[in-house]
Amino acid sequence: MFHDIPVGGHGANIDHLVVGPGGVFTINTKNLSRSIVVNPRTLTHNGYRTGYLPKASNEARRVSTLLSAAIGRPVEVRGLLAILADEWTVKEQPTDVFVGGPRGAKHWMLRQPAVLRAHEVLDLARAASKPATWTV
């Protein structure tokens, strides 16, 4: 697990990156009050549409591109939104980003089937630990 990874030169960062047998995951975290409503293409906070889903999806794609370039082969990366909120309504999960509370996100990742072998996890973790991987 890697935390607060600076990406590029414009102040962007990845909150958390997890590399394990179940795959590679970017986790965007939020601490929000009141209500969250999750739909396949939108996430609202207190009735207002947010940009959290597209941001989480874009982060996963960007990390996929950078890690793929670093190790010389395609790397699939899945995005997660781990949101601490008072009230939840999940009408339907988005197809490209998992949305849940912190514990729900953790348990979702742990339930993923193994897609990476031990040496692949080590190769990806090694690449992720190098600052040069994240400069654009």
pLDDT digits (tens, 9 = 90+) for 21-80: 999 999 999 999 999 999 999 999 999 999 999 999 999 999 999 999 999 999 999 999
Secondary structure E strands in 32-112: 35-38, 43-45, 48-49, 77-84, 87-90, 97-100
The pTM assigned to this predicted structure is: 0.93
Would you place residue 11 in the very low, low, confident or very high pLDDT band (cuts 50, 70, 90)?
confident
Do 115 and 23 form a contact (C-beta atoms < 8 A)?
yes
Structure tokens at 32: 């929000």
